[in-house]
Amino acid sequence: MVEKSKKWGIVIVGLLLIAVIVSAGCVGKKAPEEGEETPTGEVTTPTTQTPTAPSGDEGTSLSDIFGKSKGITSVKYDMVTTSPGEPTITQKIWLKGNNMRMEMTTEGETMITIMNGDKQELHMYYPEENMAMKMDFSQAPESAIEETSSIEQYNPTVVGTETIDAKLCTVVEYVDPEGKVKTWLWQKQGLPVRMEVTTTEGISRTDWKNFDFGDIPDDKFELPTGVEIMEMPGGMPPMPGGI
């Protein structure tokens, strides 16, 4: 009984941490581009192009950018979220077709969310405990690709271009249910590189980085053999979406 209580405690902590990420405004993020990452730090260089027609060797209209993200079939990236009064949260995310895997470690405990869209299954997996919680698939989190697609419904305004981590980005602003949002969209791949959400509590920021577009093995989206699977009890809150 004590062991069961411990496992439920870990599950609850995991759900609360995911809720923190959602409240930060994350919706929700491989052959690296030449010179793409800057090991010693990030350099942001504003440009002087007009907001309506940013320049670059890639397609730069918003419709072109949105279309590029929809063509991505496999990608791995890191998502770093910072919210007022909260610790920075870093997640590693793998995305392939309808499947997604998210990993994060806090206080020495690793939590892995595995969404298998092909099987319509969603699990929160705790490798140290060799147990997983089966979640309601309708509460599946969003990927960076879905994040880009969701921007269209808010009629974003292009406000300029900037280069972040050697990625030329179109910068857009819009208002969604979370507050005022500013997003940097990578012109080459159509993915978000940075997002800032301004609310009454301050500015929350999400950075997507270390993109890798190599093929991901299918077993990355499967639970290991022998894992104890627990059902979500009726009294527990559903897993929040929008990551």
Which candidate, 142, 161, 152, 143, places its Cα nearest to that of 63? Answer: 152
Upper half-sphere CA count for residue 202 (Cβ side, 13 Å): 8
Q: How many folded domains does the chain comprise?
A: 1
209 within a domain of the structure (yes/no): yes
240 within a domain of the structure (yes/no): no
- The whole domain housing 197 covers 2-231
Q: Is the dihedral of CA 135, 138, 144, 145 positive or negative?
A: positive
243 within a domain of the structure (yes/no): no
18 within a domain of the structure (yes/no): yes
Cα(37)–Cα(191) distance, integer angstroms: 15
Amino acid type, 187: Q
Low-confidence ranges of the chain (pLDDT < 50): 1-59, 234-243
So what's the pLDDT on residue 136? Answer: 81
So what's the pLDDT on residue 183? Answer: 96
241 within a domain of the structure (yes/no): no
The domain that holds 188 is classified in CATH as 2.50.20.10
177 within a domain of the structure (yes/no): yes
Q: Is the dihedral of CA 145, 147, 151, 152 positive or negative?
A: positive
118 within a domain of the structure (yes/no): yes
So what's the pLDDT on residue 71? Answer: 86
pTM: predicted TM-score of the whole model, two decimal places: 0.70
Which candidate, 170, 210, 214, places its Cα nearest to that of 190? Answer: 170
Work out the burial of residue 6: count CB atoms within 10 Å of its CB; fewer than 13 is exposed, 13-18 middle, 19 or more buried: exposed
Cα(170)–Cα(61) distance, integer angstroms: 9
Beta bridge partners of 132: 125, 229
So what's the pLDDT on residue 63? Answer: 87
3-state DSSP call for residue 232?
Answer: coil
Cα(58)–Cα(163) distance, integer angstroms: 13
So what's the pLDDT on residue 89? Answer: 92
Beta carbons of 209 and 181 less than 8 angstroms apart = no
So what's the pLDDT on residue 196? Answer: 97
238 within a domain of the structure (yes/no): no
Q: Which DSSP category does 24 fall into?
A: T
